[in-house]
Amino acid sequence: SGARPRRTALSGVEALTPSERRVVDLAREGMTNREIAQALFVTTKTIEDHLRNSYGKLGIHSKGELREALAAES
């Protein structure tokens, strides 16, 4: 009946949405939340939300852990 098919449960980097991945990549490069928000034409709240969701999916708690988490996925 028009229902969307369920997504297969993904984990790690594969679970990130395209927007979350863009934000995570910029944060990993050392950009501040404000700089990322300006670059992507969104609010800092949006960046904070994307990072919080990404941290949960990656099993980390801070920007400092991003590089290691993403390297482990490569």
Give the start-to-end residue ranges of the domains of the chain. 17-73
Residue 51's pLDDT is 98
| pLDDT score for 19 | 98
- The CATH architecture one would assign to domain 17-73 is Orthogonal Bundle (1.10)
> What does residue 62 show for φ and ψ, rounded to 5 degrees?
-155, 165
The DSSP H or E segment spanning 67 is helix 66-73
Angstrom distance (rounded) from CA 19 to CA 3: 24
pTM for this entry: 0.83
pLDDT tens per residue across all 74 residues of the chain:
567 665 666 888 999 999 999 999 999 999 999 999 999 999 999 999 999 999 999 999 999 999 888 887 76
Please tell me the predicted confidence (pLDDT) of residue 71. 85
